């Protein structure tokens, strides 16, 4: 077997580049498909929660309720994200998570109170 010419080497390298590009595209497609599935799952879960707590039937009702709540949620989002859902369900009222710095009470200072 003789040595390959520069043209043959160039052709082989181009073929390898094409194969690598095709593999790259396959991997990118798998990643995009996975992201789409995760987003779809998230949307279904959020919709189910919204439907459960607001007794919503239909897209039109959901959009109206969401739009009506938008301003309040934006204003109080940080506080709402601190709700302890499990404890709230048990107590049948809103219970907020205790902040870590509030949960540490120095024993040598008996006048310290949580607010």
pLDDT tens string 23-42: 999 999 999 999 999 999 99
Chain segment 68-87, per-residue pLDDT in tens: 999 999 999 999 999 999 99
Confidence grade of residue 93 (pLDDT, cut at 50, 70, 90): very high
Q: Are residues 61 and 78 in the same domain?
A: yes
* pLDDT tens profile 39-55: 999 999 999 998 888 88
What is d(CA 73, CA 43) in angstroms, rounded to the nearest whole number?
18
Answer yes or no: do 15 and 50 share one domain: yes
Asked if residue 2 is part of any domain, the answer here is no
User: How would you class 87 by CB atoms within 10 Å of its CB: exposed for 0-12, middle for 13-18, buried for 19 or more?
Assistant: middle
Task: Flag whether 114 is in a domain.
Answer: no
Q: How confident is the model at residue 98 (pLDDT cuts 50, 70, 90)?
A: confident
Task: Name the residue among 75, 51, 46, 78 with its Cα closest to residue 62.
Answer: 51
For residue 81, being part of any structural domain is answered with yes
Residue span of the structural domain in which 76 resides: 57-104
Q: What is the mean pLDDT of the chain?
A: 86
Residue 31, in any domain of the structure: yes
Reported confidence tier of residue 58, pLDDT bands at 50, 70, 90: confident
Q: Count how many domains the chain has.
A: 2
Q: Considering the domain boundaries, does residue 109 fall inside one?
A: no
Question: Does residue 11 carry a pLDDT above 80?
Answer: yes
Same domain (yes/no): 50, 64: no
């Amino acid at each position: 077997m003789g040595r390959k010419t520069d043209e043959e080497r160039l052709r082989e390298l181009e073929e390898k580049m094409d194969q690598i590009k095709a593999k790259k595209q396959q991997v990118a497609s798998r990643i995009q498909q996975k992201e789409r599935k995760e987003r779809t799952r998230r949307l279904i879960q959020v919709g189910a929660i919204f439907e459960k707590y607001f007794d919503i039937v239909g897209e039109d009702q959901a959009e109206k309720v969401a739009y009506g709540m938008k301003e309040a949620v934006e204003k109080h989002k940080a506080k709402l994200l601190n709700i302890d859902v499990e404890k709230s369900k048990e107590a049948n009222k809103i219970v907020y998570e205790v902040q870590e710095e509030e949960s540490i009470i120095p024993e040598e200072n008996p006048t310290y109170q949580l607010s």
